[in-house]
A and B are shown apart, each in its own frame.
Chain A
């Protein structure tokens, strides 16, 4: 699911930052197919697949839910993001600045940068689990468990406070008794190396990511094939038909039932909405305006199907098979550790896959977070900001809770940025229909469009309240939230906006 822009378009998307993309720079359909296929077969897929199993998902719910949810995601890119991108041909930040003003965009950058840091942190956690396996002959690195929060003891009050605001389940969270120094060193080392490369060797990693992408996708599929054979051997089930395979899937692999302690139960609708909204920031949240401004036609949004059905279908299913096998062999071993899982199935090549998948996706994520922060501090060099950002991500990666709760974190990430997508959609299509002027900040020269800002803050407040009160789950709240944000933006624009044309003329 990663927000990695490491592939063909990586260099291109840094161009034409303040102007519409000219026709000579438009890209063909195949560029987008390759870009999305590589981007969405990332290190995080190795966490997300197992977490579905930990959430007690059933076979039908997983397979059909992913097919439908990914279709909705593809349609969102095609009919929401790409049409605006191919008409305006501006970056997200440029489009937002015209509507919201520079100060509000700065706030958006800050939120986006922080979320990127956490996401990169989860990828560093994934890579560190592989490093742990690689160095096991020399150093023993105790791995984090499914319900760990931190690699060192925390005061009981912290667990209770985190539980109260809904970030963890305090009752099932494991209390770590001593500091896991080697894990801390491993994550900081991986994070530091990633930060240095992000600051000075970004193009090199983009190049490695391009080369690794086709191989990596096949290794992900290999994980699934190996795990399937091992399941057949472990259960003694004979597979002579598709019906036998389905019987194996429903009876032994994705059995449904209760989730593991501390995990949310995933139903069909959870799977649908998760698959749809895990990249919400990119499609409905409009981040990928920056990508699709290069597309010749808006139907190029369909190219995202390559990423959805390779990464968010095949890779998730393959990774979930590995974890289901681990649980089948030893129900007490609930740890979600991509490194050992991959090593067990594919040996050293599997470990290399985990490290490259984590590294090539953490790297551009840190780079982009650095860019977002640098927009706030333009006088500090990009390299310094990127290294500082990478170290922040490394510190985040030290805390296993982020990776182990990745399902919930991804939902929060989408929710946080979704209201601004609604603001852009309304501003582009509906403002004139309501007698209002689009691009209000640009027309009036204001730095903070309060109509957009309040729509954002109040939507987030409402969503958070609805989730905390138990009225709706975090995985679903962004759907009503989008309509609420759209309505609020229209209402506040009606209330706050003076005649923009008159103001601009003054």
Chain B
């Protein structure tokens, strides 16, 4: 998977980390749903981020 794609996945995971609690605050989802989505976002973040963060971009000039 390309570095750029992994970065996009990581950024989406970060958004998904904070979004469930914001939706819970707004009364749009239940606490259990918020916890479940946060767990999914956590898994995605730790699955995608290690492959690019702190590593050199091999395609960089």
Contact = CB atoms under 8 A, between A and B. Distances in A.
9 contacts: A210-B54, A211-B53, A215-B42, A218-B14, A225-B18, A225-B25, A226-B24, A347-B39, A349-B41
Contact of A229 (B18, B27, B50, B54): B27
Given A215-B14, A228-B25, A229-B25, A349 B38 contact: yes
B57 to A, nearest CB: 16
B18 A349 contact: no
Contact of B17 (A207, A215, A226): A215
B39 A222 contact: no
Interface in A300-351: 346-350
B22 A225 contact: yes
Interface of A: 207, 210-212, 214-215, 218-219, 221-222, 225-226, 228-230, 346-350, 352
A222 B41 CA distance: 13
Given A211-B46, A347-B35, A348-B35, A222 B21 contact: yes
B14 A226 contact: no
Contacts of B50: 207, 211
A308 B42 CA distance: 25
Q: Which 4 A-B pairs have the closest CB atoms?
A: A347-B35, A222-B21, A225-B21, A349-B42
Interface of B: prevailing SS:
helix
B18 A346 contact: no
Which has the most chain B C-beta neighbours within 10 Å: A210, A211, A218, A350?
A218
B24 to A, nearest CB: 5
A222 B42 contact: no
Which has the most chain B C-beta neighbours within 10 Å: A207, A214, A352?
A214
Given A225-B25, A229-B27, A346 B54 contact: no
Contacts of A222: 17-18, 20-21, 38
Contact of A226 (B27, B34, B41, B42): B34
Nearest to A352: B42
Which has the most chain A C-beta neighbours within 10 Å: B14, B17, B50, B53?
B17
A226 B21 contact: yes
Contacts of A221: 18, 21
A346 B14 contact: no
Contacts of A215: 13-14, 17, 42, 45-46, 49
A212 B45 CA distance: 9
A348 B36 CA distance: 9
A225 B31 CA distance: 11
Given A210-B54, A218-B14, A229-B27, A346 B21 contact: yes
Given A211-B46, A215-B14, A222-B18, A348 B25 contact: no
